């Protein structure tokens, strides 16, 4: 069986600094220290790195696809200098009110990745998905990915949400969300940042037999 080592990264808050004003052009795109080096390290270790990112700024009319391409060209150029490369960027350009199938927590982007690599979907071989927001983790849980939360970007807020959900006795208004949150509480791996997350990945290599971690490990010491 041909098992690819694919890792899916969220972009904003994982690779680059998040902005409430959106990242509208390449000048506004600033990598989080260590993140590009971490991607280069993934490449060196034989991982195919893809990005799955919500870019509703396009649907909101704040920037266009050409500006998004320029942003990703900048990222790839900086990565190239480090010996790294993102294989493909899968993005959702829609406004949240479009109710599309690709805006995370929906799984449309993950489905596109599965199609691209000719993998079953939801993924049978769990593929790590590294994100900073609840919607990344939700998509990961729905798509059969291993959810990895980094504490950059929205990560600390997301961790708090996850912990509150695990101690809350009040029933969630939505049974699906409740179920997903339960799965996430069990399965989410918490890492300080992308560089730390990269070092948790070797345990998922197909040639290394291991159980899927079922507890939330403590964040790595700084
Ligand atoms: Mg994010
Ligand atoms: Zn979409």
Q: For 106-131, how does the pLDDT look when each residue is reduced to its tens digit (9 = 90+)?
A: 999 999 999 999 999 999 988 999 99
Please check whether residue 85 lies inside any domain of the structure.
yes
Query: CB of 8 within 8 A of CB of 148?
Result: no
Residue-wise pLDDT for 57-108, tens only, equals 999 999 999 999 999 999 999 999 999 999 999 999 999 999 999 999 999 9
173 CA → ligand 1 middle, Å = 25
Please check whether residue 124 lies inside any domain of the structure.
yes
Domain CATH number, residue 37: 3.40.50.1000
Distance CA 15, CA 38 (A): 9
* Mean pLDDT along residues 189-208: 81
DSSP, res 200: T
Q: Which ligand is nearest to the CA of 22?
A: 1
C-alpha distances out from residue 22 to 47, 61, 98, 111, 171, Å: 29, 11, 19, 25, 34
Give the total number of structural domains in the chain: 1
55 CA → ligand 1 middle, Å = 10
Please check whether residue 102 lies inside any domain of the structure.
yes
Is pLDDT above 90 for 182?
Answer: no
Is-catalytic flag, 12?
Answer: yes
Exactly one of 12, 132, 136, 193 is catalytic; name it: 12
Nearest CA among 8, 29, 20 for reference residue 125: 8
C-alpha distances out from residue 73 to 9, 79, 85, 197, 201, Å: 17, 10, 11, 24, 26
Using left for φ > 0, alpha for ψ between -120 and 50, and beta otherwise, residue 220 falls in beta
Please check whether residue 123 lies inside any domain of the structure.
yes
Please check whether residue 221 lies inside any domain of the structure.
no
Query: CB of 38 within 8 A of CB of 197?
Result: yes
Please check whether residue 49 lies inside any domain of the structure.
yes
Q: Which ligand is nearest to the CA of 103?
A: 2
Q: Which ligand is nearest to the CA of 111?
A: 2
129 CA → ligand 1 middle, Å = 12
Please check whether residue 218 lies inside any domain of the structure.
no
Structure tokens at 117: 């690599």
Please check whether residue 213 lies inside any domain of the structure.
no
Distance CA 99, CA 97 (A): 5
15 CA → ligand 2 middle, Å = 21
Distance CA 187, CA 76 (A): 31
Query: What pTM was estimated for this model as a whole?
Result: 0.88
Tokens 């890792």 sit at which residue? 7
Is pLDDT above 80 for 208?
Answer: no
Tell me the residue range of the domain where 170 lies.
6-204
Using left for φ > 0, alpha for ψ between -120 and 50, and beta otherwise, residue 216 falls in beta
86 CA → ligand 1 middle, Å = 17
Is-catalytic flag, 207?
Answer: no
69 CA → ligand 2 middle, Å = 17
């Amino acid at each position: 069986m041909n098992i690819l080592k694919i890792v899916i990264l969220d972009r904003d808050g994982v690779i680059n600094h998040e902005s409430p004003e959106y990242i509208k052009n390449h000048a506004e795109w600033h990598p989080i220290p260590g993140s590009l080096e971490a991607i280069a390290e993934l490449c060196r270790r034989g991982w195919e790195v893809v990005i799955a990112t919500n870019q509703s700024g396009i649907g909101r009319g704040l920037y266009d696809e050409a500006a998004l391409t320029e942003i990703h060209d900048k990222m790839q150029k900086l990565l190239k200098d480090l010996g790294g490369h993102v294989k493909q960027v899968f993005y959702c350009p829609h406004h949240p009110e479009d109710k599309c199938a690709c805006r995370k927590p929906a799984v449309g982007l993950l489905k596109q990745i599965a199609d691209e690599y000719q993998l079953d979907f939801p993924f049978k071989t769990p593929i790590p998905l590294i994100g900073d927001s609840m919607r990344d983790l939700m998509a990961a849980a729905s798509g059969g990915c291993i959810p990895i939360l980094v504490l950059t970007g929205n990560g600390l807020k997301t961790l708090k949400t996850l912990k509150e959900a695990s101690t809350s006795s009040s029933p969630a208004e939505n049974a699906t969300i409740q179920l997903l949150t339960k799965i996430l509480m069990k399965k989410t791996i918490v890492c300080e940042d992308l560089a730390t997350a990269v070092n948790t990945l070797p345990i998922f290599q197909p040639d290394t037999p291991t159980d899927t971690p079922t507890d939330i490990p403590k964040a790595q010491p700084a």
